[in-house]
Structure 1
Amino acid sequence: MRIYELGDGTPEVSVVGAIHGDEPCGERAVERFVGEDPAVERPVKLIVANEEALNAGVRYLDEDLNRAFPGDPEAEAHERRLAHDLAREIRETTVLSLHSTQSYAEPFALVDEVGAVARSICPHLPTEYLVETGRFSAGRLIEHAHTVEVECGLQGTAEAATNAYWILRAFLSATGVLPAPVSGDDDPPLSLRRRDADEVVVFELLDRIPKGPADKYRVFVDNFQRVAPGDRVAAADGDTVSADTEFYPVLLSADGYDEVFGYAADRVGTLA
């Protein structure tokens, strides 16, 4: 675990990248930001979490770190020990956790539940959607009471790393570590700016979309777009999954997960 502390005093804000070793965008964003030697207005901690998995180019060594919290310092599994150490490092801080995905090219945010932290931070991030994970947060860093997780783009792409950097800066501005951004040469790329800057659409996860063993998988619907009852959703070797009721797909992809295509969600409102 690589840790940087900027500013004077005890950090109340932290940024975590590389929870998964096959998602390098967070590490690249942290290193880019630290390398600029930025002037900060309050102390902040920036963490590259799973260095070993990152160096090996794999998601994890022993088990998924983002299912291992709160961890165990005496565990045999590397990630379970690391989860304990990381939880200690971010204790009593407001956290941004940077990720990437195989399901959706544009950034979107996730929280355990939409509370005061999500309401105060997420409208300031360049993300159009916010997902409340609720009962699907078990073992994840997002269970930490003051954590916002952002999927920054497609896994392993330069775009995801660029997005992660600008999301990091937006988060640090929202939490007072950096001054409020001023329009000018340092604006993020147009592709990252939310289409409607006045609101964030909020979804709540309802259920998993199961995925049976097969040689070939397909998906027929788009993430965050309404699926009507009876619509084809996905297929495993031609065995089609159809919608029983209306829902909105989240993290839906052919190859992102072993046992599920993704999640069904309900659209529950907006944040201004």
Structure 2
Amino acid sequence: MRVETLGDGDPEVAIVGGIHGDEPCGPNAVDDLLDADFDIQRPVKLIVANEEALEEGVRYLEEDLNRAFPGDPDADTHEGRLAHELLREIRGCDILSLHSTQSYAAPFALVDEMDGYARSVCPYLSVEAVVETAGYSTGRLIAYPNVVELECGIQRSAAATENAKQLAREFLVATGVLSGETGSGRHHPLPVFRLERQIPKPVGERYEVFVENFERVAEDEAIAAVDGEELFSETPFYPILLSAYGYENEFGYAGDLIGRLDGDEPAVPARESASARADGRNR
């Protein structure tokens, strides 16, 4: 793990990249910040977490670091030990964790819940949505206080790196590390979704996804296919982190639109809540 500090004093703000070794956008953003000539108002800690996995270009060496928290100094796996070390390093900090995905090209934020920290940071970032992970945060860094995780774009893409660089700077302005006006250039309202359930992926060899993330899926709509056999929604929902090959055992998640950061309630009938089953039956 590489740890650098900008500014004088004990940092209360941290940016973490490289949780996954196949997501170089975060480490690239860290290097960009280190190369810049900033007038630092508050000290900030910059971390590249899983250097070994990054060097090999793999997601992880022995277990997924973002499922290994809190870790243990005597864990059997590299990532288990690293999770403990990383938590110790960022304790007491306001944290931004940079990631990329196979599911969606535009940046979006994930939080455990829409608490005061999330509300103080997310409106000032150039993201299209915020997702509450709630019951799906176990083992992840966002299960801990004052963490916002950003999906910066498509994995290994140049666009994801450029997005990560911009988002990191916006975060530093929002947290007072850098001077400047806060503002993402995105028009409010910022939609807030909540993960409700996983969409299982049956065993197969060839997978397809037919729906777009964050766009409402109607009842009985074809959402995906496994070896040419289509799967259909049982109730309306919003796809989140859906991709053909991003996860081993699920396509992604069904979610609800639960509100907006301007305080308005979503204009979606209650009967169309995605908290109802959306497990992708076939027919």
Same structural fold, with TM-score higher than 0.5 when normalized by the shorter chain: yes
Q: Which runs of 4+ in 1 moved over 3 A?
A: none
The C-alpha deviation readout for 1:93-135, integer Å capped at 9, x for no partner, is 1100000000000000000000001111000000020000000
The alpha-carbon deviation at position 9 of structure 1 amounts to 1.3
Q: Which residue number in structure 1 is paired with residue 244 of structure 2? A: 254
Q: Deviations over 1:35-92 (max 9, x none)?
A: 1132210011010000000001100000000000000000120000000000001101
Cα root mean square deviation, aligned: 1.3
For residues 182 and 95 of structure 1, the distance between their equivalents in structure 2, rounded to whole angstroms, comes to 17
Q: Could you say which residue in structure 2 is the equivalent of 1:202? A: 192
Q: Report the Cα offset of residue 193 of structure 1.
A: 4.9
Deviation at 1:182, TM superposition (A): 8.1
User: Which 5+ residue runs of structure 1 have no aligned equivalent?
Assistant: 184-191
Equivalent positions of 1:117-156 (< 5 A) are 117-156=117-156
1:8-23 equivalences in 2 (<5 Å): 8-23=8-23
Q: Supply the distance in 2 between the matched residues of 1:193 and 1:98 (Cα, whole angstroms).
A: 20
TM-score, normalised to structure 2, is 0.90
> Deviations along 1:129-179, whole A, 9 cap, x unmatched?
000000000000011110000000000011100000000001111101011
Please tell me whether the aligned partners of residues 72 and 80 of structure 1 are also in contact (alpha carbons under 8 angstroms): yes
Q: Residue 202 of structure 1 aligns to which amino acid in structure 2?
A: V
TM-score by length of 1: 0.94
* Letter of the structure 2 residue corresponding to residue 237 of structure 1: D
CA distance in 1 between counterparts of 2:24 and 2:130 reads: 22
In the alignment, the residues of structure 2 paired with residue 98 and residue 182 of structure 1 have an alpha-carbon distance, to the nearest angstrom, of: 19
* Uncovered stretches (5+) of structure 2, i.e. residues with no partner: 263-283
Q: How many residues align?
A: 262
CA distance in 2, matches of 1:228, 1:247: 7
Contact 1:108 1:128 in 2 (8 A): yes
Q: Which residues in structure 2 correspond to 1:42-121 (within 5 Å)?
A: 42-121=42-121
SS of aligned partner of 1:227: coil
CA–CA distance in 2 between the matches of 1:193 and 1:73?
Answer: 43
Partners of 1:127 and 1:193 within 8 A in 2: no
| Preserved contact between residue 173 and residue 182 of structure 2 (Cα < 8 Å) | no
2:198/2:253 contact within 8 Å kept: yes
1:188 match: none
